[in-house]
Amino acid sequence: MGGWSSKPAINMSSDGEIGYFIKGIPFPEEVLIILLSHVDHKTLLNCRQVCKLWRELVDGSVWKEKFRREGRSYHSFRAIASSRKLPWYAYYWIFHKDPFGRNLIKNGCGQNKFSHWTIHSNGGNKWDVERTPLGCEPVPSEVGADSCFVTSYQLCSKQQLVDLRVEGVPPQIMDELKPCITVSEWYAGRFDCSCVYEMHIKLLNSHRSPLEEYQQQKSMHAGENVDWRKISNTFNNYKNGVRYVLFHHGGVDSQFWAGHYGSKMTGARVELSLPPLS
């Protein structure tokens, strides 16, 4: 740490108070906490290694003070209950990757065509992207985009694998803190053609074997499906070992019409949060 002593000296004064000394200069603990909270998160890892006392100080107070001051600029700040006590490593990953409260799905509305998606079935006239949806209401404003995926007269399906470690949620957080995993998407059909929409979500372990699943299929009749509907599910209290989230969706039109008259979907989302402990 620059010119700082590798071992902060500890002085026990006559009234029992502990003082930290850096290069012979006394620092009250409260001042040292504030100073260290301005250090970047990667350097704080090195500060933990100075000595046991510094590790206890950094882990016990510095991360909290840093999050209190800087946290509002992170998505994670709004996704963590204020009453939730976090271990130091959770704060580190928040500053490093900001994994909570943001969408872990890439290209959920087709803005970049099919980038980040793996197509499994591409029947009929194949998958397509509508820059604005045809034959139904506009995409809800809360989605934040106007485009959507659209299916055809034979099954169209695709999936995206979310690697939780890559997104900033290592095994220790998944197994010890058990963040809630919320998956959601908007779907619709056309005014003139019946169709089917399906969603299949799997929580996978390190071997990519399923530990928990959620599956829904929605049939929509012509004239009844022009409004967008949101489908959502939250995984809680799942088994240890979750390392990936597999997001699979698809659909087909029910009348076998050439073109793209099948179900539409947009706003695919996988989001993690840390609510209050029950």
pLDDT at 278: 61
- Stronger pLDDT, 51 or 151, i.e. the higher one: 151
Q: With pLDDT > 90 as the criterion, what percentage of the chain qualifies?
A: 65
Instruction: Confirm if 163 and 147 have CB atoms less than 8 A apart.
Output: no
pLDDT at 22: 66
pLDDT at 179: 96
Q: With pLDDT > 70 as the criterion, what percentage of the chain qualifies?
A: 91
pLDDT at 78: 84
Look up residue 198 and give its amino acid. Answer: E
Rg (CA), the chain: 25
Tens digits of residue pLDDT in 178-204: 999 999 999 999 999 999 999 999 999
Q: Is the pLDDT reported for residue 1 higher than 80?
A: no
**Domains in the chain, CATH or no CATH each:** 9-73 (no CATH), 118-273 (2.60.120.260)
Q: Is the pLDDT reported for residue 8 higher than 50?
A: no
pLDDT at 79: 86
Q: How far is CA 45 from the centre of its chain?
A: 24
- Stronger pLDDT, 47 or 15, i.e. the higher one: 47
Tens digits of residue pLDDT in 33-63: 887 888 888 888 887 877 777 788 888 888 8
Place of tokens 């706003």: 267
Q: Is the pLDDT reported for residue 132 higher than 90?
A: yes
CA–CA gap between residue 8 and residue 35 (Å, rounded): 15
- Residue 206 pLDDT grade (very low, low, confident, very high; cuts 50, 70, 90): very high
CB under 8 A, 24+ apart: contacts of 129-136: 130/260, 130/264, 133/188, 133/264, 133/266, 134/190, 134/260, 135/189, 135/190, 135/191, 135/192, 135/193, 135/226, 135/261, 136/188, 136/189, 136/190, 136/191, 136/225, 136/226, 136/227, 136/228, 136/264
- Residue 10 pLDDT grade (very low, low, confident, very high; cuts 50, 70, 90): very low
Q: Is the pLDDT reported for residue 97 higher than 90?
A: yes
Among candidate residues 137, 134, 174, 163, the one with its CA nearest the CA of residue 151: 134
CA–CA gap between residue 58 and residue 275 (Å, rounded): 24
Tens digits of residue pLDDT in 230-269: 999 999 999 999 999 999 999 999 999 999 999 999 999 9
Look up residue 37 and give its amino acid. Answer: S
Q: Is the pLDDT reported for residue 6 higher than 50?
A: no
Q: Is the pLDDT reported for residue 7 higher than 60?
A: no
Task: Provide mean pLDDT across the span 69-76.
Answer: 84
What mean pLDDT is reported for the chain? 89
CA–CA gap between residue 226 and residue 195 (Å, rounded): 11
pLDDT at 217: 98
